[in-house]
Amino acid sequence: MTVTPEIGVIGLGTMGANLALNIAEAGHPIAVFNRTPEKTFAFAESAGALSERIVPTESLEAFVAALASPRRILLMVPAGDAVEEQIAALRPLLDAGDILIDGGNSDWQDSTRRHAELGRDGLHFLGLGVSGGAEGARHGPSMMAGGSERAYEAVAPILRDIAARFDGEPCVAYLGSGGAGHFVKTVHNGIEYADMQMIAEVYGLMRDGQGRAMPDMAGVFARWNAGPLESYLIEITVEVLGTSDPETGKPILSVIADRAGQKGTGRWTVMDAQRRAAPLPAVEAAVTARVLSGEGAWRSKGAQLFPDPAAGAIGPLSDEQLEQALLAGKILAYSQGFALLAKAAREEEWSMSLPDVARIWRAGCIIRSGLLDDMATALESAEMDLLAFAPAFSERLTQTLPALRATVAAATLSGLPAPALSSALGHFDLLRQARGTADLIQGLRDRFGAHGFERLDRPGEPGQHGPWTGT
């Protein structure tokens, strides 16, 4: 062996293999192991000049023995049982002070448990959220770390070397103990769901409400990507809209079934938001839309029973109005996501900086956007952790909300779905009502269940009851 690996990677699927190559290219010797030895050695042989820094191993014992102490091991295996099995297999081979890093899309509560369990054995655990897909893993992902701060400091030099960069700053940060890193990655994915759903809704309005061709729409999104909507998702929307199917010559979207897959992180985000009583309507609407996309039989039946009320025509909505509607929806979705992060950080006592979260999302990750630099600045002083209330974004919302209202109204009247945009708008309107309608709800609750209420003229005295005459 000519090198002593500084870190090891277990799992050479797409993400694991690309991260391993990234680490080697950054100058760090690495050991690799896959449950199929042939794949391990084929990977090392295919790495070209980087193979000088890659040590393939055919057993866990050889893998662990190859690593410098304290051992730093990055698990890139599927979340759930596979992580549990891998940790169980490694534990007898490790010494106190060794570090296990889970780089998959694990449930943050599993990471919290693993952090505690491994800590009792003197082992350090790090839950590492990794965003950016295969391209990001190979050339620079955004990474969200949580768990043992000591473990983070031990691997931080490597993580900083392989991370995406924004103005020279690496997009990686330690965000708190336990499952903080995987929680932030989960919320990232929830925002991603909302962002993609809103883009798809605007695409649907243009396609079905305005009858526009794919190349035309690609041009519109390209123009938007040169403005305030500049982001990775808008960039690749242009690519997808402009791509033709090599088999038929038709636009690729015309041959793709409209069933959106999901791996569960969007649902996890919504479930956690509900548990914490943190409003997250844009993500909830996006998750619901994905679920319904898989109910083809229902949708076919619905199309027969309930045809569009206005043949799908949405009227004279301009490209500028659609752009502003998408921008307003995006701001509101991010505001909801950051509010959930703030509430979770308080409840879990995580040392999480929201501005740091925004900063490490500026490059490498799927939701990277030109807005995130301004969001990082705004979150330094955002009132009540609500990004929407920060002056820079409240001004943008004031300017763009008329277009969001016009777009949602046109979609509703024409029978074209815009659930995420509509939910974002509904949430905003609830936020700006100093006196809403919950007084009636509380009156009803007291009437049927004697739940009590607080009077405006007796603040701080709950448990008041109305003079109801019914039984």
Residues annotated as catalytic are 185, 192
d(CA 348, CA 25): 37
Cβ 434 vs Cβ 212: under 8 Å: no
Give the up-direction half-sphere exposure of residue 273: CA atoms within 13 A in the CB hemisphere.
Answer: 25
d(CA 405, CA 383): 25
DSSP 114: H
Decide the pairing of beta strands 172-174 and 142-147. Answer: parallel
Would you state the structure tokens that stand for residue 369, as one six-digit string?
């956007």
Q: Which neighbouring-strand residues pair with 131? A: 142
d(CA 330, CA 372): 11
**CA distances from residue 172 to 47, 105, 158, 344 in whole angstroms, order as listed:** 26, 16, 11, 20
∠ CA 65-160-140, rounded to 5°: 100
d(CA 410, CA 8): 55
Q: Is 316 exposed, middle or buried (0-12, 13-18, 19+ CB in 10 A)?
A: exposed
d(CA 31, CA 85): 20
Residue with tokens 């509010």: 339
Among residues 68, 88, 76, 54, which one has the least CA distance to residue 9? Answer: 76
DSSP 205: I
Residue 54 main-chain phi, psi, to 5 deg? -115, 125
CB atoms within 10 A of CB 73: 24
Cβ 71 vs Cβ 94: under 8 Å: yes
Decide the pairing of beta strands 7-10 and 72-75. Answer: parallel
Among residues 170, 84, 183, which one has the least CA distance to residue 129? Answer: 183
DSSP string over 74-90: EE-S-TTHHHHHHHHHH
Q: Is 12 exposed, middle or buried (0-12, 13-18, 19+ CB in 10 A)?
A: buried
Percentages (nearest 5) of helix, strand, coil residues in the chain: 60, 10, 35
Query: What sign for the dihedral angle of Cα 86, 91, 92, 98?
Result: positive
